[in-house]
């Protein structure tokens, strides 16, 4: 079975997507304050591993749980939705098929309870 990770083009494609995604996030004043004190090089590497893992790739994700990673951030629905929209726009820019984008967004939606209001 072909994973979303493979369909999207593997690690180099995921790295490109993560870079494009964070360019959008950091330009968005509604959410960029969450990254003020973040080492973005490490964050991009971490996000690449997490996305690779979440999309069925070979990397084993060994980072914090979603709850721990977002603890004390008080992320509200508008913040979560802004980030999700940036991810969707990134995937569209990278010519990912609508079906694959829908699958990724469904996976992201399942994370909401572990991210918001923490």
Judged on CB neighbours under 10 Å (0-12, 13-18, 19+), 96 is buried
Return all residues near 89 (Cβ < 8 A) that are at least 6 apart: 24
Is 86 annotated as belonging to a binding site?
no
The span from the CA of 20 to the CA of 41, in Å, is: 13
Whether 79 has a binding-site annotation, put simply, is: no
* Known binding positions: 46, 70
* Known binding positions for heme: 46, 70
């Amino acid at each position: 079975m072909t994973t979303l990770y493979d369909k999207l083009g593997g690690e180099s494609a995921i790295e490109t997507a993560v870079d494009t995604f964070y360019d959008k996030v950091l330009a968005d004043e509604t959410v960029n304050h969450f990254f003020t004190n973040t080492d973005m090089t490490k964050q991009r590497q971490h996000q690449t591993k997490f996305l690779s893992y979440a999309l069925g790739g070979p990397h084993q994700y060994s980072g914090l749980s979603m709850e721990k990673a977002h603890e004390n951030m008080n992320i509200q629905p508008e913040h979560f939705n802004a980030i999700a929209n940036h991810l969707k726009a990134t995937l569209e820019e990278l010519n990912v098929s609508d079906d694959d984008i829908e699958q990724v967004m469904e996976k992201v939606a399942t994370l909401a309870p572990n991210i918001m209001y923490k």
